[in-house]
Amino acid sequence: MADKWFDDRFEKRNLRKYTNRRLNENNSLNKIYRKFSVTNWIIIINVVVYLLIVFLKMYGLSDQQLLSIFALQANSLFSGAVWALLTSMFSHIMLYHLFFNIISLFFIGNFLEKIIGRKKFFWFYLAAGIFAGLFYAVLSFYFGASGLGQKLFVSPETYSVGASGAIFGLAGLLAILTPNMRVYLIAGPIFALIVQSVVSSIFPTSPLLSLIDFIVVFYIFFSIFVMFSFNPNLRKLVIPLGMPFWILPIVAIVPLVVIGLFVDLPIGNTAHLGGLIAGFAYGYYLKNKYRRKTDLLRNRFS
């Protein structure tokens, strides 16, 4: 049986569907939509939501009010705030968090979108982000109340925002489709956040904390700039770690889980893990259904 991904779009059974789609592309709204990739539209939405949050904060809403509207909290979710599964994956409170996520999304998302197509990418991104949030909230609600549970699964009172869960879903999918493709993890910002958390835990009242926070934020933005630099000496400053893609999600999660047992980190490891599981699951589905296509991908990006 022929692989559907390799069907000729001009075969009889596809001709009418293809023709109608091409005619609809003359619609002005559709032209605007297709002007950017789905990935870039998602980035635009994240930026717009961030600006909305900044605007609402300027006009009197407190951080607590903003979190209750946009962020995901296990207790609130199980009290009926179901919308947070969607709003939280497009919301960011800190500017550096937004920048780091949209840079990751830009590179990973646009690459994956070219492989699986706009429609599949859009629905998978939403599904991965929602599943990641639900995975985070369920573990937090049922296991996050105890001391060890808070370290592993986060307190059910803790709010969570960000696109990271969905992005880890994309990474998990690529780990299955292109496992041997060589990529680089920019480890410097992660180490900086760990150092910041360690120092604030050991010296919670130190007057130097504000200076350390400034240095960490500056270094994160510097790392984003260096990612676009062609200067190899500059790139060394952000500690790029080269590895096959299948190792990337493991390296990005497991060490942080272990460190989180001893230090409180501002990182939602369980949401990342949930997104990763969604990516693995969809990846194995595509691998089994479209074996010829996925074999070609694996060989092409080895």
Question: What is the Cα 31 distance to its own chain's centre?
Answer: 27
Rounded (10°) angle between helices 291-300 and 269-289: 120
pLDDT at position 279 is: 96
pLDDT at position 286 is: 93
pLDDT at position 115 is: 92
Q: For the segment 268-279, what is each residue's pLDDT rounded down to a tens digit?
A: 789 999 999 999
Pick the range with the lowest mean pLDDT from 74-78, 87-91, 264-268. 264-268
Q: Which two tokens stand for residue 198?
A: 């360690």
Beta carbons within 10 angstroms of residue 120's beta carbon: 16
| Amino acid identity for residue 184 in this structure | Y
Task: Write down the domain spans for the chain.
Answer: 36-187+239-300
Number of H helices, E strands in the chain: 16, 4
Q: For the segment 254-266, what is each residue's pLDDT rounded down to a tens digit?
A: 877 777 767 676 6
The C-alpha angle with vertex 149 and arms to 144 and 155, in degrees rounded to 5, equals 35
Q: For the segment 115-130, what is each residue's pLDDT rounded down to a tens digit?
A: 999 999 999 999 999 9
Residues 6+ apart with CB under 8 A from 188: 219, 223, 237, 238, 239
Average pLDDT over residues 231-251: 84
Residues 6+ apart with CB under 8 A from 115: 177, 178, 297
Name 186's bridge partners: 240
Average pLDDT over residues 219-236: 80
d(CA 267, CA 254): 12
Mean pLDDT of the chain: 85
φ and ψ at 38, to 5 degrees? -60, -40
pLDDT at position 26 is: 57
φ and ψ at 208, to 5 degrees? -85, -5
Average pLDDT over residues 189-211: 83
pLDDT exceeds cutoff 70 at 194: yes
pTM of the predicted structure, to 2 decimals: 0.83
pLDDT at position 13 is: 53
Which CATH number is 36-187+239-300 given?
A: 1.20.1540.10
Q: Which of the pair, 257 or 152, is modelled with greater confidence? A: 152
Cβ 193 vs Cβ 266: under 8 Å:
yes
